[in-house]
Amino acid sequence: MWFIALKHGYAYRRIGAKHIEGRYGTWTKVSVLSAALEMGYDIVLLLDSDAVILDQSLSIQDMIARWGFHKNASLALPLDPDLAINYDSWNRIVLNTGVVFARPTPLLRGVLNELQRCPDTVAGCEVWRTKWSYEQRAFSDYYRDRFVAGQDLILIPCDEANGWYGDGQCHGRIITHDWPKAQAIDLFKQSMLHGLMDSLNTELFHTESIYRWQQRIAASPVIDRIN
């Protein structure tokens, strides 16, 4: 993600959150996202460590336009694969919190504050402290209906922003979520290399770039040519 940020001019933060006693580790994403929304950014993109942006030609603006994350929406999340294990208590496919697009709206701020306290304050929510799928199941069961789908909450197709190439249903064509973990580092290296080569190609071989270099050479008292 840092290379995407560098390429497109975004702020990048790699965050290691403090463990919350008595809860599974992914619960820290709730407090991390809450904190990020108070840092003055228009949009926050939160990615799990095993989520990789494969198509680095796309900017965040390209992605949110593609998925309809309009200026009045608070939250955009990808759907999980359509499997029995991924349905919530209301018979809906759970939304995955490994890829989160968020805006600092009062609605989202309030929901995140309540979600953080959910296992301690809401009857039944305590089971999700340590039971899969943790905070994302708690969100789907207790807070998802605070958002109007298509208005406050945008559902991103699983095949584009959640799955991985080894899954039969969701391939993660734009953002892959490498659930087996083993390939995550290799995928990151490959995507970064492709992005770097694209950037170099644009900078070194684009006509405007060549023209800029020609101007620099002509104005230089010491450079005669560059091959």
Q: List pLDDT tens digits, range 172-225.
A: 889 988 755 555 555 555 555 555 555 444 444 444 444 444 454 455 443 444
Kindly state whether residue 215 falls inside one of the protein's structural domains.
no
Give domain status of residue 55, yes or no. Answer: yes
Model confidence pLDDT, tens digit, residues 140-182: 999 999 999 999 999 999 999 998 766 678 888 899 887 555 5
What mean pLDDT value characterizes the chain?
83
Burial class of residue 150 in the structure, from the number of CB atoms within 10 Å of its CB (0-12 exposed, 13-18 middle, 19+ buried): exposed
The answer to the question of residue 79 being in a domain is: yes
Query: For the whole model, what pTM was predicted?
Result: 0.80
Q: How far is CA 9 from the centre of its chain?
A: 16
Total domains, the chain: 1
Q: Is the dihedral of CA 80, 83, 86, 88 positive or negative?
A: positive
pLDDT score of 149: 97
Any domain includes 222: no
pLDDT band at 54 (very low <50, low <70, confident <90, very high): confident
- Confidence label for 73 from pLDDT (cuts 50, 70 and 90): very high
Domain of residue 136 covers 2-178
CA-to-CA separations, 96 to 24, 25, 116, 194, 210, in angstroms, rounded: 16, 15, 17, 27, 44
Domain of 169, CATH number, reads 3.90.550.10
Q: Is residue 103 part of a domain?
A: yes
3-state secondary structure of 22: coil
Residue 200 lies in a domain: no
